[in-house]
Amino acid sequence: MKATFLFPGQGSQFSGMGKDFYDNYAEAKEVYDLANKATEMNVKELCFDGNEDELKETKNAQLAIATTSLAILSVINSKGIKAEYAAGLSLGEYVALVYGGFLKMEDCFKLLKLRGYYMQNLVPKKEYAMAAVIGLDSSKIEEVCKKYENDGEFVVPANYNYAMQTVISGEKEAIEKASVDLKEAGAKRVIPLKTSGPFHTKALEEASKEFYKDLQKVKFENGNGVKVIKNLDGSIYTGSDNFADILSKHIINPVRFDKALKIFKDEGVDTFVEIGPGKSMTGFINKEKLEGKAISVQKIEDLEF
């Protein structure tokens, strides 16, 4: 058996996430308590009682999702369950870096508090949106987006999730118009996402620059042998990587989870465990028809795998 742990990104959040783990496992409780202490926020209350509008805000969502994933991961670790690989979707990469021994958990919380704040606030004041395009090859999506770019409008591919799903990001009006064109081009569906910014695009250049300054202050470690896959280019992290450079660029470049899927296939990974709220990443595994078992762990009963 070759296993990978997968950690979800923004949009997977829901009120009450992780509460059953907090109530039943001391390991999970310690994670939420550390998140509160490290960030000087009531992350626990946000996860358990936050309403949809609160949780949709980038400054809250990123921290809440990562904390929940790390809390559940702590319980899985306590049971001796391990994986050779790890990958996250956007902010989920920070949780993967913690699991891989490259980033201390306390630093992860502090960084995601800053990252979420910058990504929400250091962006030109316009109306933005993101949408998942399903059933259309990414090259066709790139063609449609290029047409809008040539016309001076802002819509670009932001997340390459798997072969037949790519998320587009940009100005709301351009997203709406491009959605019509993409359906005409053959997309089965175009689904608006529960996000509030033009993530993984050039609109976040200021956020990227500010975050780089904070990343430079963090001491990254050499890792513990887990192979953590980068969103940026699908390569595997090493202790000699320039983490500040990679993670700041991560904000303004597309997420290439499709490349992680290729690594899983090439290296014979056959057990995929998504840890945290939602089931989107196991959905990508199933849609890509990778051989093996895909499991989502977001509630206590999911631990029986």
Question: What are the DSSP E strand ranges found in the chain?
Answer: 3-7, 85-88, 128-134, 155-162, 165-171, 189-192, 227-228, 271-275, 293-297
* Same domain (yes/no): 10, 114: yes
Separation CA 115–CA 218 (nearest Å)? 14
The answer as to whether 15 is a domain residue is yes
Segment holding 147, helix H or strand E: helix 138-150
Taking only the tens place, the pLDDT of each residue in 71-118 is: 999 999 999 999 999 999 999 999 999 999 999 999 999 999 999 999
* Same domain (yes/no): 284, 169: no
- pLDDT value for 196: 66
The residue annotated as part of the active site, out of 74, 196, 200, 208, is: 200
What DSSP designation does 235 have? P
* Same domain (yes/no): 16, 108: yes
* Same domain (yes/no): 116, 134: no
* Same domain (yes/no): 85, 134: no
Among 192, 215, 248, the domain boundary falls at 192
* Same domain (yes/no): 90, 180: no
The answer as to whether 278 is a domain residue is yes
* Same domain (yes/no): 175, 293: no
Range of the domain at 171: 128-192
CATH code for the domain in which residue 147 is found: 3.30.70.250
* Same domain (yes/no): 89, 214: yes
- Apex 277 CA angle, 175 and 20, nearest 5: 150
CATH code for the domain in which residue 92 is found: 3.40.366.10
The answer as to whether 223 is a domain residue is yes
The answer as to whether 146 is a domain residue is yes
Helix (H, G, I), strand (E, B) or coil at 191: strand
The answer as to whether 288 is a domain residue is yes
* Same domain (yes/no): 91, 178: no
* Same domain (yes/no): 134, 44: no
- pLDDT value for 11: 85
- pLDDT value for 164: 94
Residue matched to tokens 């369950």: 81
The answer as to whether 61 is a domain residue is yes
Total-model pTM: 0.95
How many domains is the chain built from? 2
Active site residue 90: yes
Among 149, 166, 192, the domain boundary falls at 192
The answer as to whether 197 is a domain residue is no
Active site residue 250: no
Instruction: Name the residue among 60, 160, 168, 59 with its Cα closest to residue 117.
Output: 59
The residue annotated as part of the active site, out of 12, 90, 138, 296, is: 90
The answer as to whether 43 is a domain residue is yes
- pLDDT value for 194: 72
CB atoms within 10 A of CB 239: 12
Among 192, 211, 229, the domain boundary falls at 192
* Residues of the chain scoring pLDDT < 70: 196
* Same domain (yes/no): 142, 11: no
* Same domain (yes/no): 245, 158: no
